[in-house]
Structure 1
């Protein structure tokens, strides 16, 4: 049986510094999820991902594997990725830029990210169950996503050799932007429902009125007589 080429592309020098800090901070993120509303953090992460839009029009830097890995940065990356991943559920795309800046080949990016996130997700599944956050609906959705990921990885094994590094980077940046837009939309809807946020707009003759309601407060602007505020 032919072994997957991704297994040999894993950068274990990155994984062994990433995982030890990511795993405990993932536990901290799951605990924070049980106490706080993750919608606001999801909104901020979505806006951060949308900030990758200019990179779609920028020429990627030439790819060359680094000789040494910045260990301190890997520990900080692991801590940030672990906490945010535990708090929001998934955060892999947020740190794509870091893998790009390391100069990893596309096979190494996919394999190393997969190794890091498998460890994170296994721990999070256990912690979500312990904290009572793993509902039947979430379990079914997780299994569906897992099956889709397995099928995707099987297809990428044959497709990846035909992707130029520049195209691979553009696809990665496009995925970050799309994911950011979706996160902003979903988080915005959740916040609007939770905080009872509504927007009203009315136009009649020479009068225009707009109002924003947030919980028990209302902010309103009116234009009268074609220009009087």
Structure 2
């Protein structure tokens, strides 16, 4: 019971932040939902909640929607979302979450820049509209795979010269069909459980409350603060996504980092699934890089035996140069 109460209040705060940042509630909630639900259920719960959020934002800001953007964004985003859902069924989303986290961290320079050069990034005109179908494909695919896109493409909306209310309204119009299609696909592929529906319902109620507050207070927020909070929220979401995804990768792929020190050498090794990549510095000065296979029946550890395979060792020496030796 406590965990659901925590989720609700976290969702209210996330959508309140989203109201100021122009999106990103789903990305902020991903680490919290990842603790409650199975990884494959997180996108479905996010899609249920954010679909309701998009509907409420359309109702509150309908007059601010830029339909010229919507008609270029949505048509290719929908089939791309189907592709993202199909990929989600085939593999864990942890590795893509790592990449998205790194992408979000790219907002750090914009956040540190402050108010300087805010208008320099705006590029209005037909040349910006040309890229909208491409943005739609990318947003649809990533949204189908992760359940949320949020702030990933907010900078593009700024470059189109949209005001904050237009960004909120147009993003909602772009996303609402996308979320409903994804929910149908998640249900069709058996990725929605009772816990998923409960989590999605709580997120939806929190989204409604935040949307009502946004209607009252959005016009009081300065444009430069709107952008700054957006960049800051993206950075925080990126850090959270990378931490959560890193934990999943370490657990599911048995990632182990090892450090060894001997009288004549110092080395480090990383075990990943059945692979071991080791780097060793030998005296006097020679660097060795080797890849080996761990016996499948053994857990990764410094004492795990290696499979009988041909091993290649890359040597880097200031006296002998770069050369490769092979061990049978």
Aligned pair in 2 of structure 1 residues 151, 100: CA closer, same or farther (>3 Å)? same
Instruction: Check if 1:16 corresponds to 2:71.
Output: yes
Instruction: Check if 1:83 corresponds to 2:138.
Output: no
Q: Which runs of 5+ in 1 are unaligned?
A: none
1:133 equivalent in structure 2: 191
In 1, Cα distance between equivalents of 2:279 and 2:80: 45
Please report how far the alpha carbon of residue 50 of structure 1 lies from its aligned counterpart in structure 2 after TM superposition.
0.5
Q: Which structure carries more relative contact order (alpha carbon 8 Å, separation 6+)?
A: 1
In 2, Cα distance between equivalents of 1:64 and 1:33: 34
In 1, Cα distance between equivalents of 2:148 and 2:105: 16
1:56 equivalent in structure 2: 111
More displaced stretch, 112-121 vs 59-68: 59-68
Q: TM-score, normalised by structure 1?
A: 0.86
Please report how far the alpha carbon of residue 37 of structure 1 lies from its aligned counterpart in structure 2 after TM superposition.
2.5
Contact 2:84 2:145 in 1 (8 A): yes
Over the residues paired in the alignment, what is the CA RMSD in angstroms?
A: 2.9
Q: SS of 2:271's equivalent?
A: strand
1:123 equivalent in structure 2: 181
Contact 1:43 1:183 in 2 (8 A): yes
Instruction: Check if 1:167 corresponds to 2:221.
Output: no
2:212 equivalent in structure 1: 154
Contact 2:125 2:160 in 1 (8 A): no
Contact 1:14 1:69 in 2 (8 A): no
Contact 2:73 2:174 in 1 (8 A): yes
In 2, Cα distance between equivalents of 1:186 and 1:144: 21
Contact 1:65 1:102 in 2 (8 A): yes
In 2, Cα distance between equivalents of 1:203 and 1:157: 61
Q: Which runs of 5+ in 2 are unaligned?
A: 1-57, 288-328
In 1, Cα distance between equivalents of 2:243 and 2:76: 31
Tell which structure's C-alpha radius of gyration is larger: 2
**Of 88, 98, 102, which residue of structure 2 is paired with 1:47?**
102
Aligned pair in 2 of structure 1 residues 64, 224: CA closer, same or farther (>3 Å)? closer
Superposed CA deviations along residues 173-196 of structure 1, whole A, max 9, x for unmatched, are: 111111111111111111111110
